Chain A
Amino acid sequence: KAGVTQTPRYLIKTRGQQVTLSCSPISGHRSVSWYQQTPGQGLQFLFEYFSETQRNKGNFPGRFSGRQFSNSRSEMNVSTLELGDSALYLCASSLAGSRGLLSPLHFGNGTRLTVT
Chain B
Amino acid sequence: NAGVMQNPRHLVRRRGQEARLRCSPMKGHSHVYWYRQLPEEGLKFMVYLQKENIIDESGMPKERFSAEFPKEGPSILRIQQVVRGDSAAYFCASSPGPGSQETQYFGPGTRLLVL
The answer to whether A and B assemble together is: no
